[in-house]
Structure 1
Amino acid sequence: MLSLNKIISVLLVFVPISIAGHFLHWSDPVVFVTAALAIVPLAAWMGTATEEIAVVMGPALGGLLNATFGNATELIIALVALNAGLIDVVKASITGSIIGNLLLVMGFSMLLGGLKYKEQTFQPIVARVSASSLNLAVIALLLPTAVDYTSTGIDTDAIQQLSIAVSIVLIGVYGLTLLFSMKTHTYLYDVDVADLELEDLADSNLGGDSDHEHVNLPLWISVLLGCTLLVAVESEFLVSTLEVATEALGLTALFTGVILVPIVGNAAEHATAVTVAMKDKMDLSVSVALGSSLQIALFVAPVLVLAGYVMDKPMNLNFNPFELVAVAVSVLIANSISSDGRSNWLEGSLLLAAYVVLGFAFYFHPVIEGIG
């Protein structure tokens, strides 16, 4: 029987297929689907390479590398979409990544882990710190939209400047969270995240090297760079066919940005979180889910705002109000469920139910204005 990781590796066949489809001018829906399937294993290999390189670099630099490349796939896809002028899709992918990590990943982890173990535990202090940071992120994302809706005739440049200022603050907060977790309060995160990453991710990630003392550093650096390049190429295929393909598939750009794109970019990370949860390592599983959401809100979103300014593709933090409602609801339910440091299958089911309900809402939501 094929393991999940072997199935993901099999998807590498879609890399040459999608490239052939692009140059042979296959239909947009076919190129879109094959490119999406190709990104999944490439993201998995990027994660594996990052883990292996991090082991050699040591806890401090390794942790920084993981924090930087943890959501590299989503960032690359978003940058390509930003360069193509699909600002609303980029914003949708940001909110979708936060929602997906909090509800889909943590939901599946708690459900499948809870079916195997009656009750699982994790450090509540870590969940509370992450909850506080997420609350700040939600407030920061809400403010530009609130200013726009409560002001008459406010200039677009003013919203842009506000977004840049907020982005700088969020990046600063992200730096403080890294300092907290990797320097001043590492003992809070050592229980699973330090030792079990080496023990479990070697088994759960693709191509993990069980003997970390003999990591082939040049090989893994080459793998990381090669996969990053291929993800950029596949992202270009994905974005260039997105509008026509989603229309042909009967999907709106909003649904694609919030639901499909984050699932494609996060699939490998999702698999890791669920795998370690089923090994009764909920500290690590929750850390992956909450940490990824934090990185999107405090690092990826602000970087995209600043990148848009540099690329002359102005992007602000003035989101679709419905997206912000969905993010706020996701943060609220995730924080309430994780605050006690215990989980079971019912709590996982509640998170998944919330994700499905939001998914239906986004599916029936009208097409984003300005797309097309």
Structure 2
Amino acid sequence: MSTKNIVSLGLLVFIPISILAERLEWGALTIFGLSAVAIVPLAIWLSTATEELAVVTGPTIGGLINAVFGNATELIIALVALKAGLIDIVKASITGSILANLLLVMGLSMLAGGLRYKEQSFNQTVARINGSTMSLAVVAIVLPAMVINTSNIVEPATIRQLSLTVAVVMILVYGLTLLFSLKTHSYLYDVGVTDLEDEPHGEHEQPNVWLWVGVLFAATVGVAIESEIFVGAVEEAANSLGFTALFTGVILLPLVGGAAEYVTAVRVAMKDNMDLAVSISMGSSLLVALLVAPILVIIGYFIGQPMDLNFGLFEVIAVVIAVLFANLISLDGRSNWLEGVLLLSTFVILGASFFFHPV
């Protein structure tokens, strides 16, 4: 059993502890911390089950499973927060997930891989395609804010209708990106999935499908339960720590929900597979921007928690900076530890800016 699995098994003890903490009302800050730690191993097992099932089902179905469950933790947390009416935190978490994937995940991968190998290479074509698609996500995030800032009066209903229209287009585009990557141009995306395994499967050894389906189901249910506890305490805990809703959504929520991606991306980068590390980073950003965000807009409309794509101007600028910088770094298809430091430094600077940003 891999070190990652051993650690994630040990951390599962925080699940009953966090549930007990909520029942006994140990305080919002304690409940917040315990539930955040409990979500991490569940996210790791959710990611591991997805990887194992992808090995069995093949690249097409495996790719679809990855698309559906790859960011399930972030989606579940966001849905619970949306249901609770924490719309500002949900919108901030979308911004934060994009920033974390493009700057933190890619930065950590390039730094970790660069410290072991002098220079690493990755598929320049795929990086360029992903970068171009992310530009569409930037347009979708920028336009509603521009409509408001360039008009005298804009009715909230108008922004909601624009957001719904954009959401449908984004989901359609994401579906077409899946068709492109899994069917018509799948050869471009052959990024060595077997390197996800610490110990490769034997020639005739295959993962137990029903076991991993059960793990996938159990981890999803666990994340849903822990998300309820986490979201229930997040506002009070953030206030006691002096954090704004903006900082909480942009920094704290993505760090909790994306833990599995960080571990996987860094691990494969240290195996000199920057193709997969970059694919995880940019692919997760695309999934959040083109699928998770639109789904939240549509679901919010039906559950009476109207959420739009009108992000704050500072959030829009931060996303534009992240996308431009990530595209610039990945332009030549090569990476080193200094580029990782530059990406991480950008994330830290943006994080500090969100922390000191007035309410």
Question: Do these two structures clear the TM 0.5 threshold for a shared fold by scoring above it?
Answer: yes
C-alpha distance in structure 2 between counterparts of 1:311 and 1:152, whole Å: 30
TM-score (normalised: structure 1)? 0.93
SS in structure 2 at match of 1:366: coil
C-alpha distance in structure 2 between counterparts of 1:55 and 1:113, whole Å: 24
Q: Which of 285, 289, 297 does residue 305 from structure 1 map onto?
A: 297
C-alpha distance in structure 1 between counterparts of 2:229 and 2:123, whole Å: 42
* Bigger mean CA offset, 87-96 vs 218-227: 218-227
SS in structure 2 at match of 1:358: helix
**Which structure 2 segments of 5+ residues have no match?**
none
Residue of structure 2 equivalent to 1:220: 212
Q: Which of 325, 329, 335 does residue 343 from structure 1 map onto?
A: 335
Q: Which of 304, 311, 316 does residue 319 from structure 1 map onto?
A: 311
1:152 deviation in Å?
1.6
SS in structure 1 at match of 2:146: helix
1:214 deviation in Å?
3.1
Q: Is the CA contact 2:46–2:216 (under 8 Å) kept in the aligned structure 1?
A: yes
Correspondence 1:254-273 to 2 at 5 A? 254-273=246-265
2:239 maps to amino acid: E
**Identity over aligned pairs, percent:** 60
* Bigger mean CA offset, 212-221 vs 109-118: 212-221
The reply on whether 1:14 has 2:14 as its aligned counterpart is yes
Residue of structure 1 equivalent to 2:91: 91
1:64 maps to amino acid: L
1:55-81 Cα offsets, whole Å, 9 max, x none, are 222221111111111100000000000
1:92-114 Cα offsets, whole Å, 9 max, x none, are 00000000000001001111111
Residue of structure 1 equivalent to 2:226: 234
Q: Is the CA contact 1:52–1:209 (under 8 Å) kept in the aligned structure 2?
A: no
SS in structure 2 at match of 1:241: helix
Residue of structure 1 equivalent to 2:65: 65
The reply on whether 1:286 has 2:278 as its aligned counterpart is yes
1:23 maps to amino acid: R
C-alpha distance in structure 2 between counterparts of 1:31 and 1:245, whole Å: 9
The reply on whether 1:201 has 2:193 as its aligned counterpart is no
2:197 maps to amino acid: A
Residue of structure 2 equivalent to 1:134: 134
SS in structure 1 at match of 2:272: coil
1:249 deviation in Å?
1.6
SS in structure 2 at match of 1:103: helix
Residue of structure 2 equivalent to 1:183: 183
C-alpha distance in structure 2 between counterparts of 1:211 and 1:234, whole Å: 38
1:257-312 Cα offsets, whole Å, 9 max, x none, are 10110011001111100010011000000000000000000000000000101111
1:177 maps to amino acid: T
TM-score (normalised: structure 2)? 0.97
1:5 deviation in Å?
4.6
Aligned residues: 358
The reply on whether 1:330 has 2:322 as its aligned counterpart is yes
